[in-house]
Amino acid sequence: MPSVAIISKIKFPFFSLKHIESYQVAVSYPVIFPSTLVGAFGYALSLLGECKGDECSKAYSNYILKAREFVNESRRTIISSKFPVILKRFRTLEREGNNYNLPEKIDEISKSTDAMVREYVFTPERDFVFTVKNDKEIDVVKKALRLIDRLGDSESLVSVIDVREEELTECTYNNVNVMVKGEFNFTENTLLLGLDENGNKSLFAIPYKIVDYSLVYSPIQVKKGNVLCGKSVRIPKGGDW
């Protein structure tokens, strides 16, 4: 049972997190899924020199148990407006094995391009919680979280504006304000199919209702007493949530 949570507040201009079942029209999720968070965390670990190369994609598991978006109840409504963008790509610069297909003449570049529609989500800021595997790693986790500069595709640049610790204690609430999967009461919540920390497809309940151009806070019901509370976050006490 984790005793400490690390809270990260991140500021966006916009982001695009492609739905796992979309193809040419890259529809974006309205939230950030765990797989994206641990991917960004792994990259940050590499910047700190805590891992190298491909091992960074799994290095997160040495430091954190869960990485989830949550709702800070001081902001019960979050602006979330989607808009499409047409992206043009130069296929001549794609790699085949160890070789790049470079054009011989400048006017040949335009003959090998295509375009795709990608959806972006305009949103001002979001809150995320990371539960730590070992309290001895808290300082490394906090340093890495401050280095995150992208969540989503290559245009989804972000700024970390706060990283802090919150002590977790058992409490008597019967709801949580964090994304969860598993056996919970999802009747009042939006469900989305996404990827968990290990890259597995999972059905998640998000603590929002999608209303027009905003996300409105909607807590997720759980069994009373099965909750850990921090100053701003409430998470399930146990299980694969």
Asked if residue 195 and residue 98 are part of one domain, the reply reads no
Range of the domain at 101: 85-117
The CATH number covering residue 140 comes to: 3.30.70.3120
Residue 208 CA to residue 76 CA, distance in Å, equals 9
Asked if residue 74 and residue 104 are part of one domain, the reply reads no
Asked if residue 187 and residue 216 are part of one domain, the reply reads yes
Domain count, the chain: 2
Distance of CA 225 to the CA centre of its chain: 27
Q: Which residues contact 108 (CB under 8 A, 6 or more apart)?
A: 92
Q: Is residue 241 part of a domain?
A: no
Share of the chain above pLDDT 70, in %: 86
Q: Is residue 55 part of a domain?
A: yes
- Per-residue pLDDT tens for 140-151? 999 999 999 999
Residue type, 59: A
Asked if residue 103 and residue 57 are part of one domain, the reply reads no
Find out whether 129 and 177 touch, Cβ atoms under 8 Å: no
pTM, two decimals, is: 0.87
Asked if residue 208 and residue 165 are part of one domain, the reply reads yes
Q: Is residue 61 part of a domain?
A: yes
DSSP state of 141: H
Q: Is residue 31 part of a domain?
A: yes
Cα–Cα distances (Å) from 238 to 9, 48, 132, 170, 171, in that order, read 24, 31, 14, 11, 13
Asked if residue 111 and residue 65 are part of one domain, the reply reads no
- Per-residue pLDDT tens for 68-79? 999 998 888 999
